[in-house]
Structure 1
Amino acid sequence: MKTDRLGHWLAILIGTLYFLVPLAATFEFSLRKLRGVYSFEAYRVVLADPQFQSSFTFSVGLAVVTIVFGMAIIVPMAYFVELRLRKLRPFVEFVTLLPLVVPAIVIVFGYLRLYNSSSLLPLTNSSLGTNFLLTCGYVTLALPYMYRSIETGLRSIDVRTLTEAAESLGASSGTIIWRIILPNIRSAMLSGAFLTFAIVIGEFTFASLLNRPAFGPYLQLIGANRAYEPAALAVMAFMITWACMGIIQVISRNAAAARP
């Protein structure tokens, strides 16, 4: 028993060091911008850069639109699959996993071929159309994670009983989803939202090939031209991602504690 426990702790220690040592080294390097002294000068330079502010604001706004657009599609679909189309669940799960199989560069080149200036629907001719394409691409990339979160939340409640009770009181499908289903899967929706936010903030391929001023291309540009600022940006990106993961854990734990 003691040997097994020691092996478990050793595996945890090795895994922790594997992730934390490179991050600690990156953080230490980011503090060396001023020679001979540790400082947060690289972080100050990055945060004061107008291009950083505009690209980060653009990506945050796009992440919010992506979350709203994705939820508007996935929640009703997952609800009706769970309620009336359970035989289609394996097919829907297969489709939602395709973004993990098809590379992002293939998807974005497909968008460019279908919606370029010579097509019947030339969305790339305007910034608004290109932003819409980018949003669709991000919804596609986040589909596996968002759908799994929503599906898990729906399976944790009795969708059929809640729906039948609401229908017996005269509620429509829209009212049932908005006033009954959504409040009961709030934690699952927030989990999917934060995962989507983390994906959008760090995504590079879609934004670069569609030539949009997002945060991912800005990270690549800084990494190609500077030394200490990329390390500072990498640490900041890790902190944003970990903050999202931590919020998901807190929300999930509170939701579990609130259940009878």
Structure 2
Amino acid sequence: MRPKTLVGWLIIVLATIYFVMPLIATLEFAMRQLPAGAARGWFLFGRPHSFDAFLSSVVSPRFQSDFLRSVALAIAAIVFGILLVVPTAYLIRLRFPGWRSPVEFVTLLPLVIPAIIIVFGYSRLYLATPWSPFNKSPFATDVLLTIGYVVLALPYMYRSVDTGLRAIDVKTLTEAAQSLGASSLSILFNVILPNVRSAVLSGAFLTFAVVIGEFTFASLLARPVFGTYLQEIGANQPYEPSALALIAFFITWACMGLIQVIGRPRGAAPAR
């Protein structure tokens, strides 16, 4: 084995240990909770362990309702984000290339402006005024929360879609579709969107990962979601927070894995 190859593998092993050991420690701590009334669980590292923290967290009615609400809000944010970003990025690349830099700057603002400032501005503008439609019901507040999630995920969604559009010839595809009599909506949804499917799915999964773990927006808008549930459990329970943190971690990595699987280019069809 060459010295450079050996050094490379050594770095990979050390990096793996650095990132995996905290997960193992978190898992071991979460498994220290024993079932109620049980004197002992199965032994690991010389002490009893069980998966009771994971089971009690998952079967909790509060966990199920808050997690499902977060999933619903994530799906709504993904749909809203796609409808907002895909036409915008398409028009910028096709007709308004001079607006590309200003739009990129605007989409990066959620990474620069803290989430606490954004949601505080939302609450002062849309919830503290009697004429606002967002303070009439919990559903209306959920709509505002969804818009906030779209803003938070905007840098990831826009970058993903813009990268996908760079990989195709937008102008040629549009002109070819127009020559066949296709309308603008037909071009966008039947020609452009299928060609950037992988990029859109990447942005969608990143949006899902952002929404599942978000706490600031939901907390200040007083909406029960998975992020606020994690915080409340962490303040009142010893072992369940570690279990829920691992569950959220693996959900995020599952999204990353789906990006790799779905975004993988398909093999060329064999020649006949």
TM-score, normalised on structure 1?
Answer: 0.95
Among 146, 152, 161, the alignment partner of 2:163 is: 152
* Aligned match of 2:95: 84
Q: Which has the larger radius of gyration?
A: 2
Q: Secondary structure at the match of 1:254?
A: coil
Q: Which has the higher helix share?
A: 1
Q: Match for 1:214: what amino acid? A: V
Among 225, 237, 245, the alignment partner of 1:234 is: 245
* Aligned match of 1:179: 190
Among 260, 264, 268, the alignment partner of 1:249 is: 260
Q: Match for 2:199: what amino acid? A: A
How far apart in 1 are the matches of 2:10 and 2:99? 44
Among 28, 53, 73, the alignment partner of 2:64 is: 53
How far apart in 1 are the matches of 2:107 and 2:55? 41
How far apart in 2 are the matches of 1:109 and 1:39? 42
* Aligned match of 2:148: 137
Aligned 1:86-235 pairs, distance under 5 A:
86-235=97-246
Q: Secondary structure at the match of 2:181?
A: coil
How far apart in 2 are the matches of 1:125 and 1:16? 50
* Alignment CA distance shift 1:28-1:258 (3 Å): farther
TM-score, normalised on structure 2?
Answer: 0.91
* Alignment CA distance shift 1:41-1:98 (3 Å): same
Say what the alpha-carbon RMSD is for the aligned residues: 1.7
Q: CA deviation at 1:5?
A: 2.4
1:104-133 deviation line (CA, Å, top 9, x unaligned): 000000001111243532512321221111
Q: CA deviation at 1:28?
A: 1.2
Count how many residue pairs are aligned between Structure 1 and Structure 2.
Answer: 259
Q: Match for 2:30: what amino acid? A: S
Q: Secondary structure at the match of 1:120?
A: coil
How far apart in 2 are the matches of 1:230 and 1:120? 40
Q: Secondary structure at the match of 1:253?
A: coil
Unaligned 5+ runs, structure 2: 35-39, 41-46
* Aligned match of 2:79: 68
Q: Secondary structure at the match of 1:227?
A: coil
* Aligned match of 1:22: 22
Identity of aligned residues (%): 61
Q: Is the 8 A contact 1:30 1:232 kept in 2?
A: yes
Q: Secondary structure at the match of 1:37?
A: strand
Q: CA deviation at 1:203?
A: 0.2
* Alignment CA distance shift 1:225-1:81 (3 Å): same
Bigger CA drift: 123-132 or 167-176?
123-132
Q: Match for 2:213: what amino acid? A: G
How far apart in 1 are the matches of 2:233 and 2:127? 29
* Alignment CA distance shift 1:147-1:258 (3 Å): farther
Q: Match for 2:136: what amino acid? A: N
Q: Match for 1:232: what amino acid? A: A
Q: Secondary structure at the match of 2:224?
A: coil
